[in-house]
Every structure is written in structure tokens, then in C-alpha cells.
Structure 1
Amino acid sequence: MSADRHLLIVEDDETFARTLRRSFERRGYLVESASSFDGLQDLLAGGLAPTHAVLDLKLSGSVSGLACVQAVRAAAPSARIVVLTGFASIATAVEAIKLGADHYLAKPSNTDDIEAAFARTEGDAGASVEARQSSIKTVEWEHIHQTLVDTDFNVSETARRLGMHRRTLARKLEKRQLK
């Protein structure tokens, strides 16, 4: 295991975290993991300075993975940070990058995808800029998700800002998981 490949995983899905851990350890990474923002803070307070980090966007509890991005970037300014999420949105991608993430990947992503993201240090100027077709449902979902980000994932406050009943919002969130 190499000190120049010290990976931090913050993921609340124990099975997925264990799978990532084993896979990265086989690739020569020294791996530390936490399942919450509090666990991350404990590791960082103990002097952990990772060279790489994989952070889940939606963690159990009230703190999102965006706070984890900020904490890791503050503790390890040169770390390569990849944010993983089961629900990718423009709003959270922009926020993650603004807070210091290097890349943002939608789940399901495997070790190869994550390692490739670690290796990419430049943007791709050749990426397609064609307008994508968005359905009304997609636009609605992106607006809901942006409001969730703005309220730090507070469902009651999000429902109030959107002018909808909390239960209606809860049903919409159940249909499209944020994880």
C-alpha cells in the first residue's frame, strides 16, 4: 500500500463502501472510510490527509455530501475528490465543483470509473454542447433538487419554498431517490 495513494471513502451504504474498499485496496490504495459527516470529521481531526476521496452526495442524516467536499478540501487541499450520487443533477454537480470536488459521477459507477476520474486533471473541451431534450418531469425534478440543495436537504423548508404540501413533496422524493 502506498502513502501517495491514501483513499478516503464516505458512503453510508455499508455494502457499497465495503466493495469499494476491497477493490481499491487490491489496486494498492490505503483506504479509510466513514459512513457519515461526523465520522469524516473524526478521521480528519485524527490527522487524516487523504490523497484521494470518494464522497457520497446523499448521506443518512441531515448533512449532505456537499459538506464533506468542503471538509475534505479544507483538510487536504491537493486531494482528488470524486462525488458519487444515485441522482445526478445539474444543481448538485455545480455546487460540488464550486466547493472543491474534482469530478462528479452518477451511480452506478465502479472502481474503474472512479480511478479514471482521479486521473483526469483537465476538462474536456471536446465535450458535446448540444442542447439536451428535457421533459417537464426532468425540469420539475431539477427545480425540486435545486431547492433541496438551497435548503440543505430540509424537506419541510423545500416544500414551503415550492408552495406544495410536504406530503406531496415526500411522495415525489420517494419516486426518485436522491441517493
Structure 2
Amino acid sequence: MLDKTLAIDKVELDNLEKTVCIDDLLQPVVHLRCPKYKVSLFVREKIHDELMDFLGGKGINPKFVPGDINYRCDKLSAIAAVIYQNRYRDELYRKEQNNPVITAMKFMDKGRNDRIYCREIAFEEGKQVIICEIHSGKKNQENRKKEKNIIKKVAGYEFKIQS
């Protein structure tokens, strides 16, 4: 009986999404964190490289160089400043109406309407914001079927809280 329980626990742990903390990328704004409420920014390990390409402007930046994230890093820093202060600003970062634990970072720069969908996991001392999915080229203001499916997918991810 005990062996079966251990096997189930191992399977559940194997299905948990792994994350990477990206606070070190955001040094210019990390100091804006609330001292009494710890907020950290993570990315799903599986999309870390995709996020770096997104920040570098892959597909839209004519001078794209792999590994160079400066193309959109200022925008991410502005969004992170809002997140670190445990706030929401509709034009940068907001909760999704379809699911209150899902948030969207808005990259409406460079004539685009791109989104990064995140999952917020709150705990007693603060919260972790985990970048889960990147959606480039959103075509409309309202969430259509494609965006609703992404939000549903993000809500289904399970993570192990890192301290």
C-alpha cells in the first residue's frame, strides 16, 4: 500500500511544471518590491527560450540577435514594476475576466498587440507570477475563442511553489 502511494506522489511531482526565476533580469526595478509582501516573477522552464526570443523581438525586429533581449526589456521592466508593487494597471498588466488567477502582460508596443499570459499563485508572505504562455499578434480587444483557450490552458498548469 505504501509503495503505491509513493508511486502516485512521484507521478504527480513529475507532472508539475518547472519554473525559472527571472527577477535577476529585472534588476532596475526589483527594488520597487513591497518590503512586507514578497513578489517574484518566474517563467515556465519549457518556454524560457521562447520568452528570450520574444523579448529580443524575434520575427519583428530586423536586427534580432539570439540572446539579446533589449528590444522589449524596457516594456517588461515597466510591467514588472507594477507587479512588484502588487498592483494592476489595465494598459500594462491585468487580471483576466474569465479567470481571476490568470493575468495578462500587455505588449502593445511596436504597433503590435501581443500578450504574455501568467498564473498568479498567492501564499501568506506574497505571490509568484509565473509566465506561462506567449500569444503574439492578438487581433482584437476582446478575448475570442483562441484567447479563452489559452487562459483555460494556463489555469490548468500545476506548479510547485518555490521559496
| Bigger proportion of residues as strand | 2
TM-score relative to the length of structure 1: 0.25
| Bigger proportion of residues as helix | 1
